[in-house]
């Protein structure tokens, strides 16, 4: 078998020592980022559904803020490499799943 099939052989040695610490931190960062993102999305939907509870411009500000925060977090993960980006995306998707489970159990 060729050594090119194993991803760890193509990584620099300095990155191999940092990778076991970076990936869990990026997952936790993605979990926090996902929670903030989907919580802001929930607030935005609440603002747009009932205009009497808040100003529509606040909903637009929340939309711009959550998209900017998500883009910034993913950009920082891209700068650290592909594995960290995947870990952050896994954290964001886990936060989404947790939020949906929480909403589903609250409606029962």
- Of 39, 46, 45, which is closest to residue 70 (Cα–Cα)? 39
User: What is the model's pTM?
Assistant: 0.76
Identify the pLDDT of residue 103: 82
Token pair recorded at residue 17: 């020592």
Helix (H, G, I), strand (E, B) or coil at 29: helix
Arithmetic mean of pLDDT, 2-17: 53
Q: Copy the structure tokens of residue 13.
A: 């040695």
Q: Is the pLDDT of residue 34 over 90?
A: yes
CB of 55 closer than 8 Å to CB of 46: no
pLDDT (tens digit per residue) in 85-104: 999 999 999 999 999 888 88
1, pLDDT greater than 50: no
> Per-residue pLDDT tens for 36-82?
999 999 888 888 887 666 677 888 899 999 999 999 999 999 998 88
């Amino acid at each position: 078998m060729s050594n090119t099939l194993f991803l760890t052989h193509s990584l620099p040695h300095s990155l191999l020592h940092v990778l076991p610490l970076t990936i869990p931190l990026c997952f936790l960062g993605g979990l926090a980022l996902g929670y903030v993102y989907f919580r802001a999305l929930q607030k935005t939907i609440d603002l747009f559904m009932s205009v009497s509870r808040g100003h529509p411009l606040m909903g637009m500000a929340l939309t711009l803020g959550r998209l900017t925060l998500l883009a910034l977090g993913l950009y920082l993960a891209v700068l650290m490499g592909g594995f960290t980006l995947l870990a952050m995306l896994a954290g964001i998707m886990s936060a989404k799943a947790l939020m949906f489970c929480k909403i589903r159990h609250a409606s029962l």
